[in-house]
């Protein structure tokens, strides 16, 4: 096994899926609903967006749209396969958006303390 500092986003997502398979479906639901909320409340989110951010709000919204499409198309496969889950959501620029959703889900929705600690360990 790689050291924690050698893990890629894809490696981390595979590990999370393997250790906490019961969290994947609710995580995907949370992420999908966050994507919709972001799109529906674009003006409110955009007004709060920091001009100091290295990512524009338009790009963030684009990542949300791409993530939502992936989840709609591959949700069942993502729940069943850690490889599909990780390689689709955590391989390219979508990882930027999905990592944020993952951390928000752990903080706001999950009731599994071990899951929450794993997210902090891997993504902080």
Looking at residue 7, the DSSP 8-state letter turns out to be: -
Cα separation, 120 vs 73, in Å, equals 29
How much helix, strand and coil, in percent to the nearest 5, is found in the chain?
A: 80, 0, 20
Check if the beta carbon of residue 61 is closer than 8 Å to that of residue 35.
no
Predicted TM-score (pTM) of the model is 0.92
d(CA 79, CA 47): 34
Per-residue pLDDT of 23-68, as tens digits, reads 999 999 999 999 999 999 888 888 888 776 788 999 999 999 999 9
Beta carbons of 8 and 91 less than 8 angstroms apart: no
pLDDT at residue 52 in the model: 67
């Amino acid at each position: 096994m790689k050291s924690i500092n050698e893990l890629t986003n894809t490696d981390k997502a595979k590990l999370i899926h393997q250790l906490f398979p019961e969290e994947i479906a609710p995580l995907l639901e949370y992420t999908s609903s966050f994507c919709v909320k972001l799109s529906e409340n674009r003006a409110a989110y955009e007004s709060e967006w920091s001009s100091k951010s290295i990512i524009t709000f338009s790009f963030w919204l684009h990542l949300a749209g791409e993530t939502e499409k992936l989840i709609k198309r591959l949700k069942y496969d993502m729940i069943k396969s850690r490889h599909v889950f990780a390689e689709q959501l955590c391989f390219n620029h979508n990882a930027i958006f999905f990592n944020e959703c993952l951390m928000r889900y752990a903080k706001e929705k999950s009731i599994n303390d071990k899951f929450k600690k794993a997210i902090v360990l891997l993504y902080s």
